[in-house]
Amino acid sequence: MGSGPTLIDHATSYCDGLSTAVPCAWATPEETAENIAAVREILERKGRDPGAFRFGMFCPALIHEDENVLDAALDNQIVRWIGATFGRIQRDAWTKAGLEPPTPEGWAYYAKFLPQNTDDALVEEILSKTTRAHVEAGYLWSTPEQVAEKLAAYVDAGISFVGPADYLPVVGDPADAQRATERGIECLGALKKATAAQL
């Protein structure tokens, strides 16, 4: 899962598909379409069939029908930390999104984040630089139907496997856990209906 050149090279040489993260690695449906086209060109150069190669995506999501619940989740420290450190995997992608990177130069979660050995001061520093705009840009969030619409745009761009990870139950009311599962099912049901001819 990712989008770096080594992963792309290995995937296009030895695999029959590639899974990435959105909006973390491929930030928009438009960027996704561009990257998929580029990967297909690499496959052709390697003598492989681009049509037999599949593209999957995982994405951090916050799914709820209540705007107040979503608002509180977007301000939650855990949600903010994930948004800051995983919302854009490459630091310069924040700049491309018009935002100052909240993480230090040379710091990336996949290389530097050791949960038991990360200094509290670093966590506080990153969170102090994490704005609401960072968090909103780091997740696909809204009602089940609206998240499905956002996911469908990536399917239109060429994604054939979709795996949203709803973080809201992690920080929400435990009494709402079953309903959270139902929201995920509703979201994927709406996505399947909207993209029946593609998935």
Q: Give the distance from CA 156 to its chain's centroid.
A: 16
Q: At which residue do the structure tokens 């996704």 appear?
A: 32
How is the chain split into domains, by residue range?
A: 5-194
Which CATH architecture group holds 5-194?
Answer: Alpha-Beta Barrel (3.20)
Q: What is the mean pLDDT of the chain?
A: 94
**Alpha-carbon span 79 to 58, nearest angstrom:** 17
pTM for this structure? Answer: 0.92
Task: Convert the pLDDT of each residue in 12-64 to its tens digit.
Answer: 999 999 999 999 999 999 999 999 999 999 999 999 999 999 999 999 999 99
**Alpha-carbon span 150 to 154, nearest angstrom:** 7
Please give the C-alpha separations between residue 148 and each of 140, 143, 145, 160, in angstroms, as whole numbers: 9, 8, 5, 14
Q: Taking phi first (over 0 means left), then psi (-120 to 50 degrees means alpha), and beta for anything else, what does residue 93 get?
A: alpha
> Mean pLDDT across the stretch 149-173?
95
**Alpha-carbon span 187 to 199, nearest angstrom:** 15
Short-list 167, 162, 159, 163, CA closest to 139? 167
Helix, strand or coil, per DSSP, at residue 95 = helix
Q: Give the distance from CA 144 to its chain's centroid.
A: 16
